[in-house]
Amino acid sequence: MFKPFVYIQDLNLSYHHKVVLKDLYWEMNVGESYAIGGQSGTGKTSLAKAIAGLVPYQGSIEIDFNVQSKLPREVLYVESWYQFKNLEGVANFYYQQRYTSQQAKETLTVHAELVSYGKEKGLHLDQVEPILEALGFSTFASSQLIELSSGEHKKLQLVKALWLKPQLLIIDQPYTGLDVASRKNLNILLDQAAGEGVQLILVCNDPELPNCIRSFAEIIDGNLVKVDALESSNSIENPSIEIPDFLKESPVYSSYDIVKMVNVNISYGEKQVLKNINWEVKAGEKWLLQGHNGSGKSTLLSLVNGDHPQSYANELYLFGNRRGSGESIWDIKQHIGLISPEFHWYFDPTATVWQSIASGFYDTVGLFQQLPYTKSTQVDELIKYFGLTENKNELLNALPLGKQRLVLLARTIIKNPELLILDEPCQGLDQQQTKHFNRLVDELCSNGMTLIYVGHFESQLPTCIEKRILLEKGEVKVVETILESV
């Protein structure tokens, strides 16, 4: 009788004192590759980490590695985000630090990271080149880890995983932060790996999966249930709750000119990241910012939200004032509501849900002062709107990733800002949560708010977007109107 490759029996696991997996039984046969989907918070990541031996659990998990195979007899888990460290082993960077070249020298380059990983795992560097090429990552060899965007960090972890080719590869949210071309190429690489004997478990709800994924499962009531396909309709529809009154009011604009860039250039040493950027954003406009991973989107946004130190060396106007005319970074941030994957990395995970949302009034990463009654009421209204009432006193890091994103999205809009910057805001959200948030964005922007929205997929965007700017290798490739304003 053949033994299953993965055999799980009576698995029980709690996440921050909440039972998520209960008496779970599952067999994964030799040669199978799975996609595990379902609603956010059901325990998908917890199960993946348990199989990889990264979290404590009760019960039995057995992996029957093939001793005849040339592939490493190990389970490799690629998390949805990767927290890198500097040369001294420290991971607690602050948000603006990634744009400061002096600080960047404290982290390894991509090439040095790969050399170190190759030595640790006994791999040859020449074998990683085709993977780097396929994922469009060859040009990042000299980049410091701290300079990479979330999508670029994701690519680096995928590169290392596909280079290693373990017998069991588990990838949590494999497509997070990747552009369309990178997603397609990743699926080709995953099919190639499966053809060489790698068995895959992909934790995601994405419809466009590699051909080798022929088995599907969802966690329902703490147990893993095999399904014919991953259906987004299984998500619970968010109740229709009217937007809070304080967010129905149009923002009070300090200037009709929100952003103006004239021949803006940004370089790190000899590497030019932005080249002769000319771009204007007027009050009330809704922009879509697009471009492949590494095209310069994150750097462009860092100029807009006041984080990039090289903004002083360029002709850049924010809210009617030239950058460097005496305003502080906090003066700029008073006008802006921001959410991005990078900001999520650096946010204080020990703040409660209520404190996290309230901190948006003061542009801090935690709440350090008492809120007046009116603002406290607004926090409560927004918590109700987002369906977070039961979680309001929980710690941010005790929530599943999807709900953490909703908390930070609520924080972003709490002060009804003049400019809303949403940099891939729906990473980590399931399809229903994505629709719910984008409906909120549409409601907000109908009252005159200015929007810059970064997203790779037109099917996951708000309908209010009017204009589009496309970056390619640091240059403006396209500026166009896609929806005539009324």
Q: Is the pLDDT of residue 343 over 90?
A: no
Q: Which of 185, 116, 180, 176 is nearest to 145 (CA)?
A: 116
Contact residues for 54 (Cβ-Cβ < 8 A; gap 6+): 77
CB atoms within 10 A of CB 399: 22
Same domain flag for 217 and 274? no
In this structure, the answer to whether residues 203 and 296 fall within a common structural domain is: no
For the cut 70, the answer to whether the pLDDT of residue 171 exceeds it is: yes
d(C-alpha 444, C-alpha 247), whole Å: 7
Give the contacts of 111 (CB within 8 A, at least 6 positions apart). 141, 142
Please indicate, yes or no, if residue 443 is contained in any of the structural domains.
Answer: yes
Q: Is residue 466 scored above 60 in pLDDT?
A: yes
Asked if pLDDT for residue 431 goes beyond 80, the answer is no
Least Cα distance to 140 among 115, 111, 164 occurs for: 111
What is the rounded distance in angstroms from the CA atom of residue 270 to the CA atom of residue 433?
A: 42
Domain that holds residue 354: 245-481
Q: What is the pLDDT of residue 366?
A: 64
Mean local confidence (pLDDT), 100-118: 77
CA pair distance 356, 343, nearest whole angstrom: 13
Same domain for 337 and 361: yes
If pLDDT is split at 50, 70 and 90, which confidence band does 235 have?
very low
Phi, psi angle pair for 69, to nearest 5°? -75, 150
Q: Is residue 239 part of a domain?
A: no
Q: What is the DSSP string of 167-232?
A: SEEEEESTTTT--HHHHHHHHHHHHHHHHTT-EEEEE---S---TT--EEEEEETTEEEEESS--G
Give the tokens for residue 65.
Answer: 């590695």
DSSP letter at 432 equals: H
Residue that is last in its domain, among 205, 234, 263? 234
Output the pTM of the full model.
0.84
Residue 136 located in a structural domain: yes
Segment 283-297 mean pLDDT:
91
How far apart, in Å, are the Cα atoms of 418 and each of 78, 247, 281? 38, 12, 12
486: in domain? no
User: Which stretches does DSSP call E strand in 29-88?
Assistant: 34-37, 58-63, 75-78
Question: Average pLDDT of 152-179?
Answer: 92
**In-domain check, residue 477:** yes
pLDDT digits 0-9 by tens, 186-216: 999 999 999 999 999 999 888 889 999 999 9
Strand segments, DSSP code E, in 269-314 are: 271-282, 286-291
Q: Assess if residue 240 is contained within a domain.
A: no
- Is residue 284 a contact partner of residue 448, using CB atoms and an 8 Å limit? yes
Rounded mean pLDDT of 91-109? 54
The answer to whether residue 119 is domain-embedded is yes
Higher pLDDT, 367 or 254: 254
- Pair 322, 469 in one domain: yes
Q: Where are the beta strands (DSSP E) in 16-119?
A: 18-28, 34-37, 58-63, 75-78
Does residue 200 sit in the same domain as residue 281?
A: no
Q: Which of 204, 234, 264 is the last residue of a domain?
A: 234
Rg (C-alpha) for the chain, rounded Å, is 23
Q: Quick one: CA torsion of 355, 361, 363, 364, rounded to 10 degrees?
A: -30
Residue 486's pLDDT is 45
Do both 295 and 332 map to the same domain?
Answer: yes
- Return d(Cα 190, Cα 196) in angstroms, integer: 10
Domain match, 119 and 201 both = yes
Do residues 174 and 295 both lie within one domain? no
Strands 257-268 and 271-282: antiparallel
Mean pLDDT over 306-322 rounds to 89
Residues 293 and 383 grouped into a single domain:
yes
- Asked if residue 195 and residue 115 are part of one domain, the reply reads yes
Query: Which are the contacts of 449, defined by CB distance < 8 A and separation ≥ 6?
Result: 250, 251, 284, 416, 417, 418, 419, 420
pLDDT of residue 270: 78
What is the structure's pLDDT at 367?
64
Look up the CATH number of the domain holding residue 378: 3.40.50.300
Which of 87-91, 319-323, 355-359, 469-473 has the least mean pLDDT? 87-91
Alpha carbons 8 and 25: distance in angstroms, whole number: 5
Same-domain check for residues 275 and 347: yes
Q: What is the tally of structural domains in the chain?
A: 2
Q: How does the average pLDDT of the chain come out, rounded?
A: 86
3-state secondary structure of 412: helix
| Residues contacting 134, CB < 8 A, separation 6+ | 185, 188, 189
Higher-confidence residue of 86 and 33: namely 33
**Cα–Cα distance measured from residue 461 to residue 467, given in angstroms and rounded to the nearest whole number:** 13
Q: Which two tokens stand for residue 102?
A: 């002096």
Biggest CA–CA distance in the chain, Å, is 77
- Residue 261, domain member (yes or no): yes
Residues 314 and 384 in one domain: yes
List Cα–Cα distances, 320 to 93, 256, 284, 299, 422, in angstroms. 31, 7, 14, 21, 21
DSSP classification of residue 268: E
What's the CA gap between 200 and 170, in Å, rounded?
6
Domain-terminating residue out of 183, 209, 234: 234
